Structure formats: structure tokens, C-alpha cells
Structure 1
Amino acid sequence: MSEGPVFGLGTAATNYTIAPGELGAWLETNGFESLWFGEHSHVPTGQKSLRPNYRETPDAYREIYDPFVSLMGVAAATTTLKIGTSILIVTEHHPIRLAKAIATLDRMSQGRVILGIGAGWSAEEMADYGMEFSKRWKWVRESMLAVREIWTSDIAEFEGEMVHFEPMWCGPKPLQKNGPPILMGAWNSHAIARIVEYCDGWVPVDQGDVMQSLMDELRVACDKAGRSFDDLDHTVVIDPLANYVTASADLEKRVEQLYSMGFRRILFTFLQDTADNQWRNLDRLHRVVRSFS
């Protein structure tokens, strides 16, 4: 395999976008390494929370498909394409059910799952699950530690402040040893300690000039904790519609910059648009991918 970045696509499926299996099969055939789906179970009508980076909440969030069901459709239509979540809102899942769902998907996809996680930004959305916004990161931490315990122990038990369960059997176990890699989806300094403690990598949204300093912080934190920086999965999300991208050449330049920082997987965001418009946008992204082949 030639040196250079690998490319994925991050989106969410709806009833008017390209069908998950069809999109996955095309990506696999055309040089992409992975397909990632995000999630929002619903949009509260009284929502006041603002999305980071983008203040508006897309109408598509009201009806996007479940990510695990969508990824199973992708897995069935492909053989080598990796399948991921970008991101999974952990505050909307119980870790026992989450561990089982992910392990099942990993088994049925022959070990192709990557788990991008986050706490979520909508206080109103997670409140409908009984989750207090101020406690969201405590829940994420305990949930991921509990999920890993279920994946790696024949008899699992966990006792935390928010998550606790008595000794139990819970299968299946994932096909990947120790379970699918868990990547932190947040992109501030607080994320660094979380990555080092309970994650296998990082999947931030490109924040422009600060990315190099954040990557340097992660390297220092890994050294202090005795973890290998190079063994982490370094993935970065790029929005091809960002203000600094006006042409394919700009996008290619940014890919080169991020790759030089240590990001080995470039994940393009892909709007929830009509299938016809998505096919046209794919053509542009495919040209960028081909330029790095």
C-alpha cells in the first residue's frame, strides 16, 4: 500500500439520500477506506442548544436513520470497507445494550467496526433520556469503561457513580481483540486526557490553526501516561464546504497539512442532500482521493 492518507466519508442516511448499501459499495469500489454514520434520535421542538461550529440544526436531523442499522446495511453490501460512527452520542445509550449492539455489528461485519464517540451538544435531546447536561462526560467515561469490561471479560461487572451492574454474562464478544477501536470525537484540550485514559484514538473536526498544537498536546499527554502516541488511531474530519476550501486544490492542500501533522485518516463530511446532489458531490471528493492514490 502506498504511503499517504486513507479517506473516509462521514454522513447520515435518510429516506432521500443515497441508500447506505449503495453508497458503501460505491465507496469501496472507488478508493475510499471507510464510511461513518452519525446520529440524532430526535430533535426537540423547544431546542435552544447550539451546534458547535455550525449554529443551525439541519432539517435532516429530524429523520436520520439509526447508525447501527444503517451500518449493517453497508456491511452486507461490502467486504473490506470499514464502518464507523461519527459520532455516536453515548449519553443516549445504556452501556450494556451498547456493548451488545457494537459487538454484534463487529461480528457480522467480520471485524470492520470503528467507534467514534462523543457526549452530544443538545441538552434538550439528552434530557429526554434523563441525562443531565453537566454529567454527560462522566456518563461517557463510565460507559466506555463498562463497555470495554463487557467486551473483554467472560463475567463482567462494573461499579461507578452512574453506571453499575452486578456480575453477568453478556455476549457476543467482538471479533476484534479487545473490541473495536474507540475514538474520541471532541476537539478541545479536555479531550486529550479522555483519549489517553479510555480511548484508542481521536476523530476531531478540523479546527484550523489550532490542530497542530492540539496534536502536540496529545503527544505529550501520551508520553506522560506511558501510552504510545503512534499506536493511536489519528483521524480528522474535514468539511469540504468550510470557508478555507474554495476549490479542490485548497482541499488537497489541507489534506496534506493534516497528514503532515500525523492524521492518517481523512474523513470528509457529506451533507444529507438528495441522492442526485450527493452523487455530484461525490465526484468532487473522488477526484481528491484519486490525487493521493
Structure 2
Amino acid sequence: MEGGSATFNIMPMSGGCGALVSGLKLSEPMGQEQKGLLEKAWLEHQVLFFRDQPLTPEQHVNFAKNFGELQGPGYMPTLDDYPNVYVQEYPDLFKGIVSDVDWHIDASFLEKPLKGAVLYAIDVPESGGDTTWVNLYQAYESLSESMKVLCSNLTAVHDNFHKNLLSVIETYGSKGYEVARKATPPMEHPLVCTHPQTGKKCLFYSELMVSHFKELSTSEGQYLRSFLLEHIKKPELACRFKWENNSVAFWDNRCTAHRGIFDFGDDRRLMHRVAIQGEAKPS
């Protein structure tokens, strides 16, 4: 692909999703043509990966800004001079409540979940600590017709504290929990959503965040959640990325779920993440 004065190549990484981009420096400003070509590839492959991309926080922020407004600070650590840059550091700063290992869609508990995110590896273990993404288009498309009908008529309740309530209280106390609970109440989204740019249907399911389904009883919801977890875990839907220092992943949060694999013990794993604000409520 050719964009602006630069040429970059795209190599699909799996049958599920994901592509490796080469020949592009994320530290440099992008022209409109180049940005358009990269966004087209992003929408097609859902996750784009880049190697050997040393970035300053400012360059990281500037790259993400090409694709929308940025997420502001929340309860996770950020850089003092760059409040849009979230710090993910193991094992020191990032324990307990934020050590998410379940499949999830970032901030799906918001009225307008994040559009996307750019994750940058600064210091990662030599082995372990991979991240896996799953294609939620294929997750929907591979359901039986009867299951598609069922899921299309369900409302999932996304709760930020569904699985980490005790950790939140232990870390921040009851008052801290009350503040966070008020800021992020449970949010309802259709289980099957239409992507606002591609027009394709996807299974908007976050194992970490979905506490129940509005139309189902507790036991029915538990059965469905178990089924959906096994369904989205299918390897043919996924792409797994081996991190190296100065690697970057840029994913579409509206049609993928992901999980980190915490198999690196007490080794240091330092990442910076810049997220792009959601533009619409899922529908």
C-alpha cells in the first residue's frame, strides 16, 4: 500500500484477525492519504501490529489522534505530563483490580465504549506475556441461525465491578468504591451490534464485564455465558501476538475482544496505552 510519500506493507497474521504492518514509522506525521489507507487496513483486519517503533509519549499520542478524540484519565495510572497515556506496569503498579486476564472489550461498561486503542511495549519479558485478540464478526457469523436469533434479541448488562468488586474495595476502600460505582454504573448494550463504519454485525460480548442478560433468568444467563465463553475461545477466531520492546498493537475495540496471558511470573512488563474515545452507543 502506498500512502503519502511512504509505502507500507500489510501481511495477515491469521485466519481470525490481525495483520503485521511494515515500512511505516509511527513516530512521523501521516498525510491524509496515508492515514486513510491505514484506517482501511485497520477496519479490514481489526488489529494492526508494528515492530521496531520507538515512540515518545508525544509521538504515541499524536499517532492515536489521527483516528479520533482520546480517552482522558480514569482510575488507572497515567503519565504526569501526558494524562492520555495509561501506564500498565507489572508487577509493581498494576496488580489486583487491573490484572484482567478474562476476555474483554475495553470500557464496554461506558455508554460509548472505546473506539480503539494503541498499546506500546516499552520493556517486556523475553518469553510470556502475549496478548490474544478474537474476531467478534466471526464469533457472530459462526453461530447457528437459531443462536443468532436468540442473541440478536438479548441485552447484555456490562458491569465494571462484576468480577473485581472485592479487589476494588480492598484497594480503594468503600468510599472509593462508591465514587467509582457512581462514575461507572452498569450499562446495557445489545448482545449483537452493528459496526458503525463497516456495517457488519458482531457479537459484542465481554466475558469480564457482562454480568447478566436483561431478558434471561440467572440460570439461563449463566448457561449462555458459559457457551459464549467457549465459543469466543475458539482458536480459529483469534490472533496471538508475541510482544517485543518497541512493538505496537492498534485494535478496533468495537469488533474485537482481547486478553493478556499472564505467564511471565514476576518479570517486568511495562506498556503504555492510548485509547480513542467511543463515538456512538452500540446498536
Same fold (TM over 0.5): no
Q: Which has the higher helix share?
A: 1
Please give the TM-score of this superposition, normalised by the length of structure 1: 0.27
Structure with more relative contact order (C-alpha pairs < 8 Å, separation 6 or more): 2
Q: Which has the higher strand share?
A: 2
